Amino acid sequence: MKSILLSLFIGIISFSCVGQETTENQNTTTYILVRHSEKDLSDASNRNPNLTEEGKKRSENLASILTDIQVDYVFSTNYKRTIQTATPIAKVKNLEITPYDPRNLYSKEFQEQTKGKTAIIVGHSNTTPTFVNKIIGKKKYSDINEKDYSKVFIIKITGNVITDMVLNIN
Per-residue confidence of the chain (170 residues) as pLDDT tens digits?
444 444 445 555 554 444 444 444 468 999 999 999 999 999 999 999 999 999 999 999 999 999 999 999 999 999 999 999 999 999 999 999 999 999 899 999 999 999 999 999 999 999 999 999 999 999 999 999 999 999 999 999 999 999 999 999 98
Q: Give the Cα separation of 28 and 21 in Å (integer).
A: 9
| Domains of the chain with bracketed CATH | 2-168 (3.40.50.1240)
Number of Cβ atoms within 10 Å of the Cβ of 126:
14
- pTM of the predicted model, to two decimals? 0.86
End-to-end CA distance of the chain: 11
Number of Cβ atoms within 10 Å of the Cβ of 4:
8
Residue 121, CB-side half-sphere exposure with 13 Å CA sphere: 28
